[in-house]
Structure 1
Amino acid sequence: MSDFSADFALDGEPEREFNPGIARRMAHKTVAAGALIRDPAGRVLFVVPNYKPYLDIPGGIVESGEPPSAACAREVREEIGLDRPAGRLLLVDWTPGRGPWSDQVQFVFDGGVLDPAGLTLTPAADELTGTRWATLEEARPDLRPSVFRRLSLASTAAETGQTLHAEFGHLLST
């Protein structure tokens, strides 16, 4: 993780709350980060979670004080044993809260184009039952519609070199 001590020194003393306790009463969003990893044929590397019935990309929740790019690299390493930095930011997608989950800001980073034949993936047994390479269309029945939309936009961003902004998988701006 980056050391921001020099930046903190430049910014000076932390802000003081004008109304004590107000920061604790403000809404807190969950932040997640994942990697869009592709193969030369255009297939996406999906993880098969053991805690939900849908496919996802390698990634997870950003810890307190952790930059999203560092969280992406950490989660990819923890989930599938692949040690590589997060690439270029492809997409920022906000998702509304549903069920037990708060709303989230989700970052999708470029995980690169890798040859599956040269990879040794080690799915984390406490989280995953495996991995799967598939095109988005092949995986569509096993993806939540919002995740399909998000990954479609992330794929477009990877192809065009743009970084995209979405809400619940719907493009807002370029």
Structure 2
Amino acid sequence: MDLLPFEEYAASLNRKRASAGVLFRDAESRVLLVETTYKRTWEIPGGSVDADEAPWRTAVREVLEEIHINRPLGRLLLIDHIPTDGPMPEGLAFVFDGGVITEEEVTGIEPTDPEIRSVGLHTLDAARDLVKPGLARRIEVALDVLVVTGEPALCESGYRVTARERR
């Protein structure tokens, strides 16, 4: 078997998109969602990782841009593998803990980012009707990590992958 020169090999490697989001919740476990202006579904604060940017830096940057919250980023809650979906290539979604947020803090958010129409706190059931199914599953797993397991989760399409399935 002939080996490719290193430069050709490196150029042939698969490239994955990456995104980073932050899960904020209130004392009743309602989650903060942002209504976007560019698609029908809502999101958690976050966005696409830029070239040469670490996902945790993306999370901090996007939260500041979208909802003007500047606080230390919490721990990693999960990493989700997202398959190719139409024009969007496969990717990895990182979700970090944003901590507890109050109703007063949410009410005080005045979106100035043209991508954000509004923000609100929503129960998991209500969120399922607002976000894509994969994100709804990620939110559910992230809340479970926060409340039950304490350990970061690995997911595929929002479904938790068990240790047995990782073998």
Regarding TM over 0.5, the answer is: yes
Q: CA deviation at 1:118?
A: 3.7
Contact 1:90 1:158 in 2 (8 A): yes
| SS of residue in 2 equivalent to 1:131 | strand
Match for 2:103 among 97, 108, 116?
116
Q: CA deviation at 1:56?
A: 0.7
Q: CA deviation at 1:91?
A: 0.6
Q: Are 1:42 and 2:19 an aligned pair?
A: no
Q: Which residue of 1 aligns with 2:140?
A: 152
Contact 2:137 2:158 in 1 (8 A): yes
Q: Which residue of 1 aligns with 2:158?
A: 169
Q: Which residue of 1 aligns with 2:122?
A: 134
Q: Which residue of 2 aligns with 1:8?
A: none
Q: CA deviation at 1:85?
A: 2.4
Q: CA deviation at 1:124?
A: 3.6
Q: How does 1:8-27 map to 2 (within 5 A)?
A: 18-27=5-14
Contact 2:145 2:152 in 1 (8 A): yes
For residue 95 of structure 1, what is the amino acid of its counterpart?
I
Runs of 5+ consecutive residues of structure 1 not aligned to the other structure: 1-16
Q: CA deviation at 1:138?
A: 1.3
Contact 1:30 1:102 in 2 (8 A): yes
Contact 2:80 2:92 in 1 (8 A): yes
For residue 148 of structure 1, what is the amino acid of its counterpart?
A
Contact 2:65 2:113 in 1 (8 A): no
Contact 2:34 2:43 in 1 (8 A): yes
Query: When the two structures are superposed, what TM-score results if normalisation uses the length of structure 1?
Result: 0.85
Q: Which residue of 2 aligns with 1:9?
A: none
Moved segments of 4+, more than 3 Å = none
Q: CA deviation at 1:25?
A: 2.2
For residue 61 of structure 1, what is the amino acid of its counterpart?
S
Rounded to whole Å, the distance in 2 between the matches of 1:162 and 1:145 is 23
Q: Which residue of 2 aligns with 1:11?
A: none
Contact 1:140 1:148 in 2 (8 A): yes
Identity rate of aligned residues, in percent?
36
Q: Are 1:88 and 2:75 an aligned pair?
A: yes
| SS of residue in 2 equivalent to 1:24 | helix
Moved more, 118-127 or 43-52: 118-127
Runs of 5+ consecutive residues of structure 2 not aligned to the other structure: none
